[in-house]
Amino acid sequence: MAKILINTKHYKDNLDCISAHIGSKDKLALVLKDNAYGHGLSSIAPLAHQYGVKNVFVKNIQEARSIEHLFPHITIFYGRFDGPIPTNFHPVVHDIAQLDHIPDNTRVELKVNIGMNRNGINQKDLDTAFEKILKKNCEILGVFGHNGYGDEEGKEFDYSQNCFLDIRGHATRLSEKYSIPTPRFHSLSSSGALRTKDHQDTLVRIGIAAYGYVPYNFPVEIVNKLKPVLSLWAEKIATKHLPKGSKIGYSGTSILQQDEIVSTYDIGYGDGLFRYDGIKKNGTKAKLFTRDGFEILPKTSMDCFSAICSQDEICVFEDVRALCDFFGTIPHEILTNLSSFLPRILV
């Protein structure tokens, strides 16, 4: 059966490398959203727990519930909440109107807009947000922004950080005014955290770097030390000895240039692996190979693909960047797309 292997040593090495860079293990908060970036939340969360991570971020309450007993602080990025929630669950407030959908007496984190103009309140609404949150008897555990320019060179990254510093001062003054504890502050995800040397925030929110990647558009040395955690494996279904000229698969897109041994393997786009039709994102024709250099033949099907290979099992990829180049995307997209039905096995 097709499967995903999770390299636990690489995962731990990545966390060591990131903690060393940010200067402390306590500042390391992990983003486990979207089934831990496709790695399997139920596989990754216990590893993060064993490592000593206390603060994590997930997408919704279903994800939070599945790891409820592992972490003292689980921040939930999205969703509306109808009833009481456990004390270690922290809904994110993105908008003042959303407060109607958050139970009273909850510990929340307040998201502020520092330049992406997507989610989070603007600084001019900070006073109102504090007032309304406190009126609901909610506690403000954290105030955070998301720097959307971590992967890019240019002034916007610093502009966003300065904006966050301003808001941080403002939120600190409001906390003094209301005599409440100063919230924790965080503004950087993987790319920002790893390009920055001086970390003033209480936490950094690390997602993709823990899994071995940061897709910078400029060189940052630490990225070469990170190692891919996930590899995708497929099992053979059938093998055929086919003569030159044989057409393979839907529409006969692949035509053999010589006699070949061709096998099918049990992964297709129904398993979340993108459909490969032989045309790269940039419109040119290109071949795609497995980790060990076996040619994958277009078009791939819903449940299988053909390759010039006779091995019983093949590693489709170990470093997803080879596929990113072909499909014109970032590691996040290919990894999070992998079906949750594929078994994740720790090695």
Ligand X SMILES: *Cc1c(COP(=O)(O)O)cnc(C)c1O
Report the catalytic residues.
33, 250
> 293-316 burial, b if ≥16 CB within 10 A, otherwise e?
ebebbbbbeeebbbbbbebeebeb
- How many chain residues bind ligand X (CB under 6 A)? 12
Q: Which is nearer to ligand X, 117 or 258 (CB)?
A: 117
Q: Which is nearer to ligand X, 90 or 146 (CB)?
A: 146
Q: Is 168 helix (H, G, I), strand (E, B) or coil?
A: helix
Spatial neighbors of 104 by CB under 8 A, at least 6 apart, are: 136, 137, 138
- H or E element at residue 139: strand 139-144
Spatial neighbors of 259 by CB under 8 A, at least 6 apart, are: 241, 242, 243, 244
* 31 forms part of the interface with ligand X (CB under 6 A): yes
* 73 forms part of the interface with ligand X (CB under 6 A): no
Q: Which is nearer to ligand X, 29 or 316 (CB)?
A: 29
Give phi and psi for 163, each to the nearest 5. -60, -40
Task: Report the amino acid identity of residue 108.
Answer: V
Q: Which is nearer to ligand X, 34 or 318 (CB)?
A: 34
CB atoms within 10 A of CB 132: 15
* 146 forms part of the interface with ligand X (CB under 6 A): yes
Q: Are 64 and 90 in contact (CB under 8 A)?
A: no
In the bound complex, what is the minimum distance in angstroms from residue 261's beta carbon to ligand X?
40
Closest-by-Cβ residue to ligand X is: 207
* 44 forms part of the interface with ligand X (CB under 6 A): no
Span near ligand X by CB under 6 A; candidates 81-89, 158-166, 201-209, 234-242: 201-209
In the bound complex, what is the minimum distance in angstroms from residue 144's beta carbon to ligand X?
7
Q: Which is nearer to ligand X, 192 or 298 (CB)?
A: 192
Cα–Cα dist 164/203, whole Å? 14
Span near ligand X by CB under 6 A; candidates 44-52, 204-212, 248-256, 321-329: 204-212
Single residue of 21, 195, 205, 299 touching ligand X by CB under 6 A: 205
Give phi and psi for 321, each to the nearest 5. -65, -25
Q: Which is nearer to ligand X, 207 or 268 (CB)?
A: 207
Q: Give CA separation, 83 vs 100, 106, 266, 322, in Å.
A: 12, 11, 43, 45
CB atoms within 10 A of CB 105: 11
Cα–Cα dist 82/97, whole Å? 15
In the bound complex, what is the minimum distance in angstroms from residue 151's beta carbon to ligand X?
8
In the bound complex, what is the minimum distance in angstroms from residue 229's beta carbon to ligand X?
13
What track of x and - describes contact with ligand X for positions 96 through 125 (by CB under 6 A)? ------------------------------
* 229 forms part of the interface with ligand X (CB under 6 A): no
Burial of 226 (0-12, 13-18, 19+ CB in 10 A): buried
- H or E element at residue 57: strand 55-58
Q: Are 71 and 32 in contact (CB under 8 A)?
A: no
Span near ligand X by CB under 6 A; candidates 10-18, 167-175, 200-208, 272-280: 200-208
Single residue of 56, 76, 141, 208 touching ligand X by CB under 6 A: 208
What track of x and - describes contact with ligand X for positions 232 through 271 (by CB under 6 A)? ----------------------------------------
Q: Which is nearer to ligand X, 190 or 264 (CB)?
A: 190
Span near ligand X by CB under 6 A; candidates 7-15, 79-87, 188-196, 298-306: 188-196
Residues within the interface to ligand X (CB under 6 A): 31, 33, 77, 146, 189-191, 205-209
